[in-house]
Amino acid sequence: MAIMANTIKEIRKNEGKENVLLLDAGDTFGDDQLANITRGAAIIQMMKLLEYDFMALGNHDFDYGRQRTKELQTLAGFAFGGANIIDKETGKTFLDHPFLIKEISGIKLGIIALGYHNSLLTGNKANMQGLNFVPGDKVLKKHLPLLSAKTDIIIILSHQGTAVDRITAKKFDDIDLIIGGHSHDIISGPEKINGTYLVQALSDAAVIGEVKLHLHNHKLQYAHAKSHLLWTDKHQADSKMQSLITSLRKPHLEELEEKITVAKETIGRQYKSESPCEKLIGNLLREHFNAEIAFLPGVGYGISLNGTVTSEDIYRLLPHPSKIVRLNLTGKQIKSILEQTDTNQKPGEKQEVVGGLLQSSGISYMLDYSQPSGNRIGEVKVNGKGLELHKKYKIVTHSGMLNGLHRYDVFQRGKKY
């Protein structure tokens, strides 16, 4: 964040601060131990210092509950939006900021924020109680005509993920730019689809995406984009931001910097394939709880572990509090879980993609995406022996999976041991 602050300062200096908008496509409050300790306040204070203009609400921006999200917006002093996040009780947009209209040098920009339509499948549903997450295209049909009449440029600030953003660009003709999030892609280029420019700036404050809009007669002619990769050995930290970070960390240093272990080799995290980090965690869980199989969700955030590993390093990989669960599941139920992970990745409709590949330990299988859903899993073995459909196996996982995270409802049919 300190390096990001300095990069933003340089861009504002070069372009004129009055000509620059600072936007975020969501998932900002958590995924960090200091954020968890302060229930999002530490990150919001940093964002406030950076003077953000607008932010789309990501699925993990509800990790401390909807009331806390509301409190954090008050603390921030800038708007959080999600035109497709509806309060069931009032029928209105949650926090009442579906879009932002901003005028720069006589040009009116309309920025519509979209949250993740599958948010209820990616976190604790109790934290999002009373909210309805609808597909973005449904609300765009309402908001686009209204904003097009009032503004010169239409921007979508999206936490839908790249695959859905591409569908949106094809479906609607009057969108000038989509600034994406959620799928953690790096798209500078920018990509152009149906006259709409598409960009995304990775995740975890590793990249600042800069987009310049070139206009003539109040109409977009073209967009130029680039990614600023924030390598810590190549950029200076902003002293003011560093001072704030130091003060926020100071009361919690002992907890944050507790040394847990040493990684003699780099332990990385994968998202769409087997993950060394999750394999290690799964092995530890199986050993400690005498289980045959460990299952963990596929997630796409966090750092690689290398050298001394502290408490906050672990929290960056496992930031969402959950409890360990031990279950007996039949071989048939286990095969159904494996079929669910292949469906999650290749469901047919791109809007239905959710989560990464199910992470596992103690089990091996073949996954063939060329086959139709339901027939993609084969050669399943548990600790080297063929899976027996009627046999009960000892499983260790966590409470998120038990609650149906990423559509893994089968865990709810297991018996605790």
Number of domains observed in the structure of the chain: 2
Quick one: 327 and 402 in the same domain? Answer: yes
Residue 250 covered by a domain: no
Sign of the torsion formed by the C-alpha atoms of 206, 95, 399 and 374: negative
Task: Return the CATH number at 81.
Answer: 3.60.21.10
Quick one: 182 and 314 in the same domain? Answer: no
How many DSSP H helices and E strands does the chain contain? 12, 23
Q: Residue 99 is encoded by which pair of tokens?
A: 């879009």
**Distance of alpha carbon 129 from the chain centroid:** 19
pTM of the model: 0.89
Q: How many CB atoms lie within 10 A of CB 62?
A: 29
**What are the tens digits of pLDDT across the range 21-34?**
999 999 998 888 99
Residue 252 covered by a domain: no
H-helix segments, 192-293: 239-249, 253-256, 276-289
pLDDT at residue number 225: 96
Residue 249 covered by a domain: no
Model confidence band, residue 301 (pLDDT cutoffs 50, 70, 90): confident
**What are the tens digits of pLDDT across the range 352-383?**
888 899 999 999 999 998 898 888 999 999 99
Model confidence band, residue 405 (pLDDT cutoffs 50, 70, 90): confident
Cα radius of gyration (the chain) = 22
Domain hosting 312: range is 257-416
Reported as type and span, the H/E element at residue 49 is helix 41-50
**What are the tens digits of pLDDT across the range 235-260?**
999 999 999 999 999 999 999 999 99
Most distant pair of Cα atoms in the chain: their distance: 71
**What are the tens digits of pLDDT across the range 321-354?**
789 999 999 999 999 999 999 998 888 888 888 8
